[in-house]
Amino acid sequence: MARSNDEVAALFHEYADLISITGGDAFRTRTYEKAARSIGGYHADVSTLDVKGLQEIPNVGKSTAEKIVEYFKSGKVSAVEELRAKIPAGVRRLTAIPTLGPKKACVLYEELGISSVEELADAIHEERLRDLKGFGPKTEENILHGIELLQSSGERVLLDVAMDLADDIVTELSRVTGCRRCTYAGSLRRVRETIGDIDILVAAKRSEPVMRAFTELPYVSEVIAHGEKKTSIRTTKGLSVDLRVVPPDSWGAALQYFTGSKAHNIRTRELAVHQKLKLSEYGLFDTESGKKIVSETEEDVYARLGLPWIPPTLREDRGEIEAGLRGELPELVQEDDVRGDLHTHTDLTDGLAPLEEMVAAAAERGYAYYAITDHGPNLYMQRMTDERILAQRERVRELDGTYRARGRRDGLRLLHGVELNIDPDGAVDWPEKFLADFDLCVASVHSHFNQGREALTRRIVRACEHPCVNIIGHPTTRIIGKRPGVDVDLDAVFAACARTGTALEINAHPDRLDLRDEDILRARRHGVKFAVDSDAHATLHLANMRYGVGTAQRGWLAKDDVINTWPLTRLRRFLCKGRTGHRSRG
């Protein structure tokens, strides 16, 4: 199960919003925002800590720690409840809309009496917002897009939330006597970016012990349906989970069927029909005799249909059937192929852990190399200076090779990099001469998201053309369910990356997964190279690499497409980007 940290982080993010709406001190708002981030990335479960232990978390003072203890004792925080009571429920409902801030929500409620998403959509279509200060046509467009994001997400949750729960359920059910096999299926196995409900599949001769254990899990709030073959529950966090138990000899067919997607399954059933076969969750059968032909493994099912085994991440009917029939499926990149992480942060800027802790965690993951890329000075809140970044470089050079990477004979090689801010005109933080001494530069858009399409496109293309920029970080800037991607001509950006030798990032943080799989497919056709990065701001975030690799697979990427699967010597050649006089450290 997901730890309690995310629960508390969400509570403090809400508290910060409530303070802002009620005209509270901006410093206090920022304090709780920072505490929320620190708690979300902290390695220990905050529900197990006392006030003293909680104060060891960065940005958590005594007052904040006491609120956390209060929350786990009573299920609420009185200070939060007091502010909730001061703000009409309608305003709180409106703040759920991505792109609509708390202050604008308050204006809408006070000036127009709008207290629901539906009322707001109607008011925009009736052009009633245009008389309000700060609400022009562009604002209306952004709010409508936010409403679309909210409605499309529905009851869906982010990939990591679903994965944490599914991993826990699989672990628990695998311990039940008689359980032969257990795994998750559905959209989670296909690594979709959001998950509606979780499908768990078990192979067992007797279903009753497994079903009973499933309904008795500690986080079950409701048993929706209970049967011999299928049981459905709802968790205390509101997630729906379906468990299906199948005979062991039907495992392969059932796993193929319940993994989906629906479109992929239609295609495989069509192949079966053309061969006078019938494919179902119970097996592949001869249509005339009804005899079961294969069913025990997915490989058997696909092979009998004339296909190689198709990785779950490709099963979206985006050409995988045709490629399989031609013998042209890609050999997808795997998490074990990743030799290093090229976009990470420390507490020198907005990370939560010091350099040494981040490096030690990277070594424990068995990486051959690891890049530290704290923010440049143009992201002013991070207070970066030339002196601070150069002092960090000296420390990185001291630590280079001194941490023994798990499973490797050589020490972990460290790269000193920076995440630059792409300014509205496409410029970046430092002059070229200063940047030339970094091992790599990631450049990202962090502001001015609402520039026009042409301006945004020029802005990112200019960054690609910079001789020191190696990777475009989180290229569309989206935050899933909260902020849409920028309106940019992606094909022009992809062409610029291919032309200049600039990699595009697949940001592995579960609320970004940016680039999207659909964009990766397009960029790949331009000949772009990619970097799958965690963008870690805490040691725990390094493990998000699994989601980035899953997204890369959904974009049909092979190992060679991803620069941080390459040996360090080849990677360094790529990072030189044709610059003359750039020193290469072996």
The Cα angle at residue 500 between residues 495 and 506, in degrees rounded to 5: 70
Compute CA distances 447 → 251, 257, 313, 337, 477, whole Å: 50, 44, 33, 34, 9
Q: Is residue 509 part of a domain?
A: yes
* Mean pLDDT of the 194-217 span: 95
Choose among 373, 378, 384, 350: nearest CA to 438.
Answer: 373
Q: Where residue 152 falls among pLDDT bands split at 50, 70, 90? A: low
Q: Where residue 200 falls among pLDDT bands split at 50, 70, 90? A: very high
What per-residue confidence (pLDDT) applies to 130? 80
CATH number of the domain where residue 464 is located = 3.20.20.140
> What are the tens digits of pLDDT across the range 136-149?
787 888 788 778 77
What per-residue confidence (pLDDT) applies to 530? 98
CATH number of the domain where residue 292 is located = 3.30.210.10
What per-residue confidence (pLDDT) applies to 582? 45
> Which amino acid is present at 539?
T
What per-residue confidence (pLDDT) applies to 153? 59
CATH number of the domain where residue 233 is located = 3.30.460.10
> What are the tens digits of pLDDT across the range 459-471?
999 999 999 999 9
CB 279 within 8 A of CB 290: no
Q: Is residue 583 part of a domain?
A: no
489 with 404, same domain: the answer is yes
Compute CA distances 11 → 100, 103, 220, 489, whole Å: 19, 19, 22, 37
Structure-token pair, residue 392: 């960090």
How is residue 15 annotated by DSSP?
H
Percent of the chain with pLDDT over 70: 97
21 with 148, same domain: the answer is yes
372 with 311, same domain: the answer is no
What per-residue confidence (pLDDT) applies to 154? 60
> What are the tens digits of pLDDT across the range 373-424?
999 998 767 789 999 999 999 999 999 999 998 888 889 999 999 999 999 9
SS3 for 507?
strand
CATH number of the domain where residue 45 is located = 1.10.150.110
93 with 226, same domain: the answer is no
> Which amino acid is present at 243?
L
Q: What are the backbone dihedrals phi and psi of residue 533, each rounded to the nearest 5 degrees, phi first?
A: -125, 150
409 with 550, same domain: the answer is yes
524 with 556, same domain: the answer is yes
Describe the crossing of helices 545-554 and 517-525 by its angle, rounded to 10 degrees.
60
Q: Is the pLDDT of residue 40 over 50?
A: yes
SS3 for 384?
coil
Q: Is residue 586 part of a domain?
A: no
SS3 for 538?
coil
Contacts of 452 (CB under 8 A, 6+ apart): 487
Q: Is the pLDDT of residue 2 over 60?
A: no
What per-residue confidence (pLDDT) applies to 578? 60
Neighbours of 398 (CB within 10 A): 10
| Omega within 30 of 0 (cis) for the link into 173 | no
Q: What is the residue-wise DSSP string for 540-585?
A: GGGGGHHHHHHHHHHTT-BGGGBGGGS-HHHHHHHHHTT-TT----
Give the residue from 246, 268, 293 where a domain finishes: 246
Q: What is the mean pLDDT of the chain?
A: 91
Q: Is residue 119 part of a domain?
A: yes
208 with 237, same domain: the answer is yes
Q: What are the backbone dihedrals phi and psi of residue 353, each rounded to the nearest 5 degrees, phi first?
A: -125, 150
In this structure, of 65-69, 172-176, 253-257, 405-409, the range with the lowest mean pLDDT score is 405-409
What per-residue confidence (pLDDT) applies to 579? 58
Q: Is residue 582 part of a domain?
A: no
Structure-token pair, residue 350: 């907005």
Contacts of 226 (CB under 8 A, 6+ apart): 211, 215
What pTM does this model have? 0.86
358 with 493, same domain: the answer is yes
CB 42 within 8 A of CB 352: yes
Q: How remote is the C-alpha of 290 from its chain's centroid?
A: 45
What per-residue confidence (pLDDT) applies to 583? 44
Q: Is the pLDDT of residue 119 over 50?
A: yes
* Mean pLDDT of the 96-111 span: 78
367 with 510, same domain: the answer is yes
Contacts of 68 (CB under 8 A, 6+ apart): 8, 39, 46, 49, 54, 60
Q: Is residue 584 part of a domain?
A: no
Instruction: Kindly tell me the burial class for residue 148, based on how many C-beta atoms sit within 10 Å of its own C-beta (0-12, 13-18, 19 or more).
Output: middle
CB 18 within 8 A of CB 80: yes
47 with 163, same domain: the answer is no
Contacts of 23 (CB under 8 A, 6+ apart): none
> What are the tens digits of pLDDT across the range 465-500?
999 999 999 999 999 988 889 999 999 999 999 999
Q: Is the pLDDT of residue 347 over 70?
A: yes
Q: Is residue 585 part of a domain?
A: no
Q: Is the pLDDT of residue 340 over 50?
A: yes
Taking the C-alpha atoms of residue 266 and residue 279, their distance in angstroms, rounded to an integer, is: 10
Give the residue from 264, 291, 326 where a domain finishes: 326
Q: How many domains does the chain have?
A: 4
Q: Is residue 572 part of a domain?
A: yes
What per-residue confidence (pLDDT) applies to 3? 61
How is residue 485 annotated by DSSP?
P
What is the domain extent for residue 237? 157-246
Q: What are the backbone dihedrals phi and psi of residue 97, each rounded to the nearest 5 degrees, phi first?
A: -80, 120
Q: Is the pLDDT of residue 585 over 80?
A: no
Taking the C-alpha atoms of residue 166 and residue 275, their distance in angstroms, rounded to an integer, is: 36
Q: Is the pLDDT of residue 547 over 50?
A: yes
Give the residue from 303, 326, 349 where a domain finishes: 326
> What are the tens digits of pLDDT across the range 276-316?
999 999 999 999 999 999 888 999 999 999 999 999 999 99
Place of tokens 């290229």: 475
> What are the tens digits of pLDDT across the range 555-580?
999 999 999 999 999 999 999 986 55
Contacts of 351 (CB under 8 A, 6+ apart): 344, 345, 358, 374, 536, 537, 538
218 with 353, same domain: the answer is no
493 with 558, same domain: the answer is yes
Q: Is the pLDDT of residue 1 over 50?
A: no
CB 538 within 8 A of CB 9: no
What per-residue confidence (pLDDT) applies to 113? 83
Helix (H) or strand (E) holding 418: strand 413-421
